């Protein structure tokens, strides 16, 4: 029973990473357009999702440009050695 719960949580975590990786910019840009241009009714769950996407975008910016970290291991993704 414990292993299945762990596996389900891991699957949900992986799916959420993929969802936010591809959808965060659509949510960051699209939600204000829905609210202020198209008079969409306020939804607090979407507001929380929007704030979470802003946090993820800031984190990506900090990792990429300030800390200069990458998901690649010591040059395995770059073509500098070629």
In the chain, % of residues over pLDDT 90: 26
Q: How confident is the model at residue 76 (pLDDT cuts 50, 70, 90)?
A: low
Q: Is the pTM of this model over 0.75?
A: no
Report whether pLDDT(82) > 50.
no
Cα dihedral 14, 34, 63, 19, rounded to 10, equals: 10
Report whether pLDDT(19) > 60.
yes
Query: What mean pLDDT value characterizes the chain?
Result: 82
**pLDDT per position as a tens digit, 38-54:** 999 998 999 998 998 89
- Per-domain boundaries in the chain: 2-66
Helix, strand, or coil here: 39? coil
Cα dihedral 64, 66, 69, 74, rounded to 10, equals: 110
Q: How far is CA 17 from the centre of its chain?
A: 6
CA distance 9 to 77: 29
């Amino acid at each position: 029973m414990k292993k299945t719960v762990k596996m389900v949580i891991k699957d949900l975590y992986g799916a959420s990473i993929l969802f936010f990786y591809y959808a965060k910019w659509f949510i960051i840009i699209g939600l204000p357009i829905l609210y202020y241009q198209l008079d969409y009714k306020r939804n607090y769950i979407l507001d929380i999702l929007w704030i979470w996407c802003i946090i993820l975008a800031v984190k990506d910016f900090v990792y990429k440009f300030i800390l200069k970290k990458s998901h690649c291991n010591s040059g395995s993704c770059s073509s500098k050695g070629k």
